[in-house]
Copies of this chain bind each other. A is one copy, B any other.
Amino acid sequence: MQLNIPETTQKRILIAGGGFAGLKLASKLANSNFQVVLVDKNNFHQFQPLFYQVATAGLEPSAISFPLRKIFQRSENVIIRVAEITSVHPEKKEVITTLGAVSYDILVLAMGVDTNFFGMKQVVQHAIPMKSVAEALSLRNRILQNFEDALIETDAEKQKALLTIVVVGGGPTGVEVSGTLAEMKKFILPKDYPELDFSKMNIYLVEAGSRLLSGMTEKSSAQAAKYLEHLGVHVLCNAQVGDYDGEQVNIGPVLKIAAKTLVWAAGVTGKQTDGLPAELYVRGNRIKVNAFNQAEGFEDIYALGDYAYMTEEKYPNGHPQVATPAIQQAKLLANNLKRQQQGKAMKPYTYFNRGSMATVGRNLAVVELPFIKFYGFFAWLTWMFVHLMAIVGVKNRVLVFINWFWNYVTYDQSLRLIIKPFVKKEE
């Protein structure tokens, strides 16, 4: 079955994925002389860097999600379809989606990456990942429900397990989620649950490598660890999770922690798409591309951002899987595709590292810009400003700002709702 898409004489660029890369590319090609077909499994763009605030009841999903159709209301040449790509057929220049087949002139794969559980089946079943707003919401519901359950639990050991949260992965997400949970423990939860003894609540941050925030300098890693420990997070480095059965986390050969919540932010992996040669996929299932983001061996297939593996002299293991290269590559590719259309040569990509940052809690953040590193209150302000400006939509920016301001002043959020999905019942 063909997927129903308006006919046109324009060349068709099919973009798979509406994350940072896909959205930027589609925006730059809006109202150009291409037909852009943007395919995503959701009808909205998600702002990943703030998922942890959704998980910790600081923001609503809608504050960091933006409907794709609204973004492209004024771009007649951008067609949106809510679907997933199931296979690619380069010889026919066609992809198969969950809604039907679509032909393309140029295919851009920007599906990003998903959580990597490293093959641990029990962990998949019991841990909560953090790669979508739905997952973040589910973590929020789990934590709040565990507190409700702890209230009525009379067995002291079981109660302690309900109050224990283990966060796996010392990247920005792990640091941010454990820091925020520690602040909730300090400022918010005791007011909501005066019946509970909060000395029993423990938050662990478990990292397999030797330090947190491995993408930053050692000094920043140490600073982040110091902040977290100050907030009461138990930071465990060189500690690898071996298994989790929903009750107990096994770390290394000896350590066992009884915990009803395990947050998994320990790694990511791409997903191989049927129909593309297996040798195209390299480290972490990313697609090997040249400096023009062309998939190796293809002239009309591109990959962008997290899903693309491009090496440079300075980055022999590929670029970091963060927003900056995704956005930069998308901008350049939009220009390159327009240049191609005009018969001009394409320009190669080089990564311009604009810095990196992570926040731990109120007034606490670590920021590394190209020529300066700084920590604490100003780093925290910088973090907030950069993230606020990066959010799509003026209204979302206003709402996020009000929420942050409110939370900062009152030491309290008011989003602690356990909203269970509506399930049809028999009368």
Contact = CB atoms under 8 A, between A and B. Distances in A.
A378 interface: no
A117 B418 contact: no
A417 B117 contact: no
A419 interface: yes
A73 B418 contact: no
Interface of A: 3-4, 6, 42-44, 60-62, 65-67, 69-70, 73, 76, 79, 81-82, 99-100, 117, 119, 121, 124-125, 132-135, 137-138, 144, 148, 151-154, 191-195, 393, 395-396, 398-399, 402, 406, 412, 414-422, 424-427
B69 A152 contact: no
A4 B399 CA distance: 39
Contacts of A398: 402
A137 to B, nearest CB: 7
B427 A73 contact: no
30 contacts: A3-B152, A4-B151, A42-B417, A42-B418, A42-B419, A43-B144, A43-B148, A44-B417, A61-B417, A61-B419, A62-B415, A62-B417, A67-B417, A69-B193, A70-B191, A73-B191, A79-B195, A81-B151, A82-B418, A121-B426, A121-B427, A124-B426, A125-B426, A132-B422, A134-B422, A137-B422, A396-B414, A398-B402, A399-B399, A421-B421
A427 B119 contact: yes
A192 B69 contact: yes
Specify which of A42, A81, A194 lies most central, judged by the most chain B CB atoms within 10 Å of its CB: A194
B426 A82 contact: no
Nearest to A45: B417
A417 B43 contact: yes
A95 to B, nearest CB: 15
B134 A420 contact: yes
Nearest to A137: B422
In this complex, the member of A67, A194, A419, A426 whose beta carbon has the largest number of chain B beta carbons within 10 angstroms is: A419
A319 B384 CA distance: 51
B414 A70 contact: yes
In the complex, the 10 A-B pairs of residues with the closest C-beta atoms, listed nearest first: A134-B422, A69-B192, A138-B422, A421-B421, A67-B416, A4-B152, A73-B191, A124-B427, A44-B417, A82-B148
B396 A399 contact: no
Contact of A125 (B60, B69, B119, B424): B424
